[in-house]
Amino acid sequence: GENVEQHPSTLSVQEGDSAVIKCTYSDSASNYFPWYKQELGKRPQLIIDIRSNVGEKKDQRIAVTLNKTAKHFSLHITETQPEDSAVYFCAASTDFNKFYFGSGTKLNVKP
Amino acid sequence: GAVVSQHPSWVICKSGTSVKIECRSLDFQATTMFWYRQFPKQSLMLMATSNEGSKATYEQGVEKDKFLINHASLTLSTLTVTSAHPEDSSFYICSASVSQGKSYEQYFGPGTRLTVT
């Protein structure tokens, strides 16, 4: 199946700074890439996603970029706030249905 | 929005017993349901894909006879951990997939924390 790698595993930033999380995938057939935010003991929540026919997507302070040639995609959070602190997971889907997740990034935003 | 529930939210069982976890889509019919396992501070590992009325498809390395999945209706899937052992202790999360035009979105349940003593 698909192999998704995610970096860094932990990320600590000062409030107001930007945070970038990167993922690579192995299956060139993957065409849907969601990002999830998970707070401790809670379910993952979709925060943004991108499809393979788009290179970039933005939603307020959150943006995702996709490079199909290099098979990597990134999550960008600007003007970080303490409530952004959580674990973030990227995922790749080969058929818009089955998701394979990255290993997660624990983001800590220091006030 | 789409709501997925899981029951129980947490369960403690003795080694050797079986535990059933339910996953329900409350306000929609799910095309497919998925079961994931998450160890502390680790990622979600896809265990199996469950389609209503058919046998579940298990990921490589997941024991079919140990993790029994039944998908009785478009709104209910169950995962039974048979002959549980301490190493089966984990956070089990289901998700339900619903079509959004040409793509699908997955909605996650709140998870079930299983502790095997």
Summarised one tens digit per residue, pLDDT across range B44-61 is: 999 999 988 888 999 999
pLDDT at A96: 61
Q: What is the distance in angstroms between the CA of the first residue and the CA of the last residue of chain B? A: 37
Summarised one tens digit per residue, pLDDT across range B5-48 is: 999 999 999 999 999 999 999 988 887 899 999 988 788 999 99
Q: Is the pLDDT of residue B102 over 90?
A: no
Q: Would you call A8 an interface residue with chain B, using a CB distance cutoff of 8 Å?
A: no
Instruction: Using CB atoms, pick whichever of B46, B93, B97 lies closest to residue A100.
Output: B46
Cβ B11 vs Cβ B19: under 8 Å: yes
Instruction: Using CB atoms, pick whichever of A41, A43, A102 lies closest to residue B109.
Output: A43
Q: Would you call B49 an interface residue with chain A, using a CB distance cutoff of 8 Å?
A: yes
Q: Would you call B43 an interface residue with chain A, using a CB distance cutoff of 8 Å?
A: yes
- Whole-angstrom CA distances from A71 to A2, A23, A44, A66, A99 are 12, 9, 24, 8, 16
Strand order in the sheet with A19-25: A4-7, A19-25, A72-77, A62-67, A56-59
Question: Which residues are A8's β-sheet partners?
Answer: none
Cβ-Cβ contacts under 8 Å, A89 against chain B: 43-44
The pLDDT confidence band at residue B103, using thresholds 50, 70 and 90, is low
pLDDT at B87: 94
Block mean pLDDT (10 aa), chain A, length 111: 92 97 95 92 90 91 96 97 96 82 95 93
